[in-house]
Chains A and B, each alone.
Chain A
């Protein structure tokens, strides 16, 4: 049997994968944890699991797998630490000039977690609704609805702040 291992087995491929997805994955982890250290750990563990589970498996999208694994690791970590209620994690956002956009970051933090997650995965994770659905375990339609509701809510929040 011929086993084709896409990207996973060798360091150069892993490097390419990290270069494509590392920043997006880290942003997603940050949006869930609000903690740089936990986010780094989750991303690293996701790569460890990728090497463990991806070879030989029918993996449609290694990127999607990384996002899903990162999410599961963070949720497992929360459960392990018995975190039932947690403060919304603020994802630091900045203008291309480097100037922080705290207003957008805070507005994002006011969304319900599943809506915030949909926005982060869509805009900063650069995933399709189908991929978001796979990551979060929801139908693509649900992911799209959450995203639309989130954007509308953000529009209301940010409009209130307008001068």
Chain B
């Protein structure tokens, strides 16, 4: 058999068809929990279920305001005896390592309450030395929330670039919530306890009018509105010009509005046009992106989707 015969034979052969579900998985891609974490989760679930059957689940051992103080009081939280005890134990069990803490809270009826179960997250960190490879998983520690609403991570000391987070698991009831965690660069020493930014679950903002695919009148200064969200103090509205080409879409950022949340939860074209780098024109399509912030300027939530609207005279 000659090499040409081999090539012809191989070219005539077929590889297996992927299962249909793979297409669905790829078209609605969400990071999946690693199989190992699933197995670990399942074992914890079984263990947890057994414990629960013996003793009813207890509420957080301390009131929420003690566990999750406002940002300004974060340093004092490092003296929290329960948190300190747990951090000390982790340090003893992991000599030479650093301990990172993320407080996890959910925004419910105007209050930030600790999320005490069902949450896990991997922090993605890259050493500051060397050039990052965007195609490689930077890796990082994984932690799960405890009954006080704190997730602990054991990290190798060093200086890191914050790259993001991964493998976020959340209770079923919060699946549709927006998850926000601001990751930052990090420098930790051996044995150090470092409290990072809070992780926040909050219900999403929702567009009200016009509906998707609707239009805004330039002449009557049309406005785009969203459902009231009393906990928010500021909003940021990004707007882009969307143009369809034969084989692609182009998105051109025109500007961003950031300011106090309007009382009527509506922003008008005239408020945006002054911020736009180019004048609005009838017939073009704009995409709007809406985010909400609390009084401390922390991003809390956003809409699930951008809204595309047509501008008319």
B12 proximity list for chain A (CB < 8 A): 95-96
Q: Which single member of B11, B17, B31, B35 contacts A48 (CB below 8 Å)?
A: B31
User: A10 to B27, Cβ gap below 8 A?
Assistant: no
Q: Contact mask B1-27 → A, CB, 8 Å, 1/0?
A: 111011101111111111101110111
Cβ A45 vs Cβ B31 within 8 A: yes
Nearest chain A residue, comparing its CB with the CB of B31: A48
A27 at the interface (CB under 8 A from B): yes
B61 interfacial contact with A, CB 8 Å: no
Q: Which residues of B contact A4 (CB under 8 A)?
A: 245, 248-250
Contact B250 A123 (CB under 8 A): no
Of all chain B residues, which has the CB nearest A69? Answer: B135
Among candidates A22, A40, A94, A104, residue contacting B9 with C-beta atoms closer than 8 Å: A104
A117 to chain B, nearest CB (A): 14
Assess A18 versus B27: contact at CB under 8 Å? Given A72-B136, A151-B7.
Answer: yes
B9 touches A2 (CB 8 A): no
| CB <8 Å contact, B29 and A151 | no
Q: Which residue of A lies closest to B22 (CB)?
A: A40
A11 to chain B, nearest CB (A): 6
Taking a contact as CB atoms under 8 Å apart, the answer to whether A155 and B16 are in contact is no
Verify if B252 is at the interface (C-beta below 8 Å from A).
yes
For B17, the closest partner residue in chain A by CB is: A23
| CA A15 to CA B22, docked complex, whole Å | 11
Q: Does any Cβ of A come within 8 Å of B279's Cβ? A: no
Q: Contacts A18-B26, A22-B18: A76 and B247 contacting too (C-beta < 8 A)?
A: no
> Within the assembled complex, what's the spacing in Å between the Cα atoms of A10 and B28?
10
Using known A-B contacts A23-B17, A91-B15, A123-B10, determine if residue A6 contacts B247 with beta carbons closer than 8 Å: yes
With a CB–CB cut-off of 8 A, which chain A residues contact B247? 6
In the assembled complex, B137 has its CB within 8 A of some CB on chain A: yes
Q: Are A51 and B29 in contact (CB under 8 A)?
A: yes
Is A58 at the interface (CB under 8 A from chain B)?
Answer: no
Task: Tell yes or no: A3 within 8 A of B by CB.
Answer: yes
Are B15 and A23 in contact, with the CB atoms below 8 A? Answer: yes
Give Cα A101–Cα B6 distance, bound, in whole angstroms: 13
A26 on the B face (CB < 8 A): yes
Give chain B's interface residue range (CB within 8 Å of chain A).
35 or more
Contact with A along B239-275 (1 / 0, CB 8 A): 0000001011111110000000000000000000000
| CB closest residue in chain A, given B245 | A4
Q: Which of B31, B134, B250 has the most CB of A within 10 A?
A: B134
Of A36, A68, A154, the contact of B6 (CB 8 Å cutoff):
A154
Pairwise interchain contact A26-B16, C-beta atoms closer than 8 A: yes
Please tell me if A114 contacts chain B, counting CB pairs below 8 Å: no
In the assembled complex, 20 residue pairs joining A and B whose CB atoms fall closer than 8 Å, in A order, are A1-B253, A5-B250, A6-B247, A9-B249, A14-B27, A18-B23, A19-B23, A26-B18, A30-B15, A40-B18, A40-B19, A43-B22, A47-B26, A51-B29, A104-B13, A154-B10, A155-B3, A158-B1, A158-B6, A159-B1
CB-CB nearest 5 A-B residue pairs: A27-B15, A26-B18, A47-B26, A93-B13, A48-B29
Beyond A5-B251, A158-B9, 19 additional contacts (C-beta under 8 Å) are: A9-B251, A14-B26, A39-B18, A40-B18, A47-B25, A47-B26, A47-B27, A48-B31, A53-B134, A68-B135, A72-B137, A96-B12, A119-B10, A123-B7, A123-B11, A148-B3, A151-B6, A154-B3, A159-B1
Q: Which residues of A contact B (CB under 8 A)?
A: 1-7, 9-11, 13-15, 18-19, 22-24, 26-27, 30, 36-37, 39-41, 43-45, 47-49, 51, 53, 65, 68-69, 72-73, 76, 91-96, 101, 104, 108, 119, 123-124, 148, 151-152, 154-155, 158-159, 162
